[in-house]
Amino acid sequence: MDTSDNNLNLHSITIQAIGNLQRFAPFEKVKGQAAIHIKAAKNEYEGFQAIIKANQTTRQIDVSLSPLINQQGQRLSDIKIYRERYINVNTPTPDSPYAAQAWPDILLEKDINKTKQVKPSYQAFPYDLTAGENLPIWVDIYVPANAIAGDYSATLSVLVNGETQAQLPIKLTVWDFTLPKQIPLASSFGTASYRIAEVYGFKRDRTQAKQNLLIRSYYDLLIDHHLAPVDYWDAVPERASNDLPNINEKIAGLGTVTQNLQYYLQQRNLNAYIYTFADTFPFADTFGKDKLKAQRFLKSYAAWCQQYALNAKCYTNPALMDEPETAEDYAYIKKWGDFFAELPKQTRKNIDFLITEPPLANSKSLGDIRGIVDTWTPKFYDLWQDVDYKKIGISRQQLTKGDQLWAYTALTLPIDFAKFQQLNPKADILLGNYPFIWQLDYPAINYRLPTWLFHQYGVTGWLYYDTLQTGKQDAADIWHNPASFIVQEQDRELVFNGDGLLIYPGFADDYGLDAPVPSLRLKWLREAVEDYIYIELLYQHEQADFARQQIQRIARNFADWQNDPALLMQVREQLGSRLATIITSGSKP
């Protein structure tokens, strides 16, 4: 569709709508649309992208969005506008289908640092646009639960020195169903308090309100995107003088440990809380002389957590047992299993033992930890191997025994991609058909599609090892080089771009304030969670067959899917339309 009607041509400026999973290089030719029509449920976020271009260098470009208004005059005004800042990939991630180039990823929110001293490149607007340069923007709209269903209209305007130069019509259709307050998909995503402290150069101290509020701001950003942090610094009970959890400790600038737990699980409606015990924390000798004290502590903690959890689940990941690989690792897990087995049944009922490992059959080299672990977390690749390639189905066997299944990804595949293609000849990094990989310079759909298949595998949670990974460089440099994870091999250095990096650290010296800055990829994950909720609602309303039929149009399993964002949005619209029909009418079509 020609976009010339939206161009007032005083400064040769155009604005075009593009898909949410589309990305263009800084001077790449853009073929977009002249208007935007998006659809969302109540209590849902919906975002859209647009790109501004100018045929001549233009200074002081700004944007504004009028309130979304329906025919009854109701306004939707919870709107955020971001400029997408480019970041240069200097060394492509292994097997990336793209050459080294700049990618839009850092989302600078309009006016968030308006009153601060900000370096121009760290400010969203106004922006000086070079002739032929792309200026991508992301707009977030929140539809409240009390919104009236129907169509809303608005106009996105491009301004130069306060004067409108181009406009983009916006139409939002609100479906007549509401997403639940509590997200049904459990999660544990990096954003550890110790990492935030490392990045900002301080030692965690619960008496320091400024530090505590900064850590909380990172948690809140993640929660705003339907994801839970890996730890809750202000809601973790430390050992009191009586050797029980200190649940009444006051955290400066916030509340007590108990009040903070209530904030996360009751006000923010998270459904998972993970407490990490270790053989040296909170007692020096958990398996030895402090064993009875540690078990008494855990019993008290489990009862406390469950008291305030409501519908949430309390987990523990002892010593952060991550990807155990040896017989010694498995023996260590069994040691924790013995420790938990001695606890009262109610305590074990109130807290789940979670590890990042697939359930494996009894192995002479490793041993068997089935019956010890409650929640298994295999990689997407491991699940594909178990269910689809080898067709063993151990994970499903454990589900029938009452265990839970989460899933995750990290780096690229555990084997070379060329070797994976021998297992699955259809696999192509650009086109699809491989277990999903989260890298900045991989196709965007990798972030959006995994949750569409979770019901098929019985997955009810997911995790990610970090969201603030900065690699070997200083934290401030991650804004210029996304090489967040580097592996040194004998003859080469492997660079993983954006791995473990979903949030950029904002610093007062550059950004104007110490604060978390979201990435474009974080928005994709939020939408992936909302996709999961659509599917969950369809299952709840006896529409599982319909959901599966629609999903199979774009994805059959973790290594059988196509990179087709337009088709993904078509299928999603079918899911939403069906929900609007059955929930509004209360009948089955």
Query: Tens-of-pLDDT digits for all 589 residues of the chain?
Result: 344 445 545 558 999 999 999 999 999 999 999 999 999 999 999 999 999 999 999 999 999 999 999 999 999 999 999 999 999 999 999 999 999 999 999 999 998 877 777 888 899 999 999 999 999 999 999 999 999 999 999 999 999 988 999 999 999 999 999 999 999 999 999 888 989 999 999 999 999 999 999 999 999 999 999 999 988 999 999 999 999 999 999 999 999 999 999 999 999 998 888 887 777 888 888 889 999 999 999 899 888 988 888 777 788 776 566 788 788 888 888 888 888 888 888 877 778 888 888 887 656 677 788 888 888 999 999 999 999 999 988 889 999 999 999 999 999 998 899 999 999 999 999 999 999 999 999 999 999 999 999 999 999 999 999 999 887 767 778 999 999 988 888 788 899 999 999 999 999 989 989 999 999 999 999 999 999 999 999 999 999 999 999 999 999 999 999 999 999 999 999 999 999 999 875 544 4
Q: Which of 143, 178, 213 is the last residue of a domain?
A: 178
Are 166 and 206 within 8 A, CB to CB? no
Among 178, 213, 239, identify where a domain stops. Answer: 178
Query: Looking at residue 320, what is its pLDDT?
Result: 60
Whether residue 219 sits in one domain with residue 117 = no
196 and 146 inside one domain: no
- Residue 210 within a domain: yes
Judgement on whether residues 115 and 150 belong to the same structural domain of the protein: yes
Quote the Cα angle for 534-587-536, to 5°: 20
Asked whether residue 546 is domain-assigned, the answer is no
Q: Give pLDDT, residue 513.
A: 92
Same domain, 277 and 382: yes
CA 140, 146, 151, 153 torsion-angle sign: negative
- Does the residue 531 lie in any domain? no
Task: State whether 285 and 317 are in the same domain.
Answer: yes
Does the residue 569 lie in any domain? no
| 545 domain-assigned | no
Please indicate, yes or no, if residue 335 is contained in any of the structural domains.
yes
Does residue 263 sit in the same domain as residue 404? yes
CATH number of the domain residue 112 falls in = 2.60.40.10
Q: 140 and 190 in one domain?
A: no
Kindly state whether residues 52 and 166 are assigned to the same domain.
yes
581 in a structural domain:
no
* Rounded distance between C-alpha atoms, residue 214 and residue 217, angstroms: 5
Long-range contacts of 542-551 (CB under 8 A, 24+ apart): 542/588, 543/578, 543/579, 543/582, 543/588, 544/455, 546/578, 547/455, 547/575, 548/456, 550/574, 550/575, 551/452, 551/453, 551/456
As for how many domains the chain has, the answer is 2
* Short-list 356, 353, 361, CA closest to 379: 356
Q: Which residues lie closer than 8 Å to 28 by C-beta, 6 or more apart?
A: 134
Residue 256: which domain range?
Answer: 186-521
Q: Are residues 354 and 430 in the same domain?
A: yes
Give the pLDDT score at 319: 58
Say if residue 259 is in the same domain as residue 347.
yes
Tell me whether the omega of the peptide bond preceding residue 505 falls within 30 degrees of 0, making it cis: no
**pLDDT reported for residue 359:** 84
Q: What is the pTM of this model?
A: 0.93
Query: Residue 162: inside a domain, yes or no?
Result: yes
Question: 39 and 78 share a domain?
Answer: yes
Last residue of a domain, one of 501, 521, 541: 521
Cα 492 to its chain centre, rounded Å, is 31
Query: Do 62 and 113 share a structural domain?
Result: yes
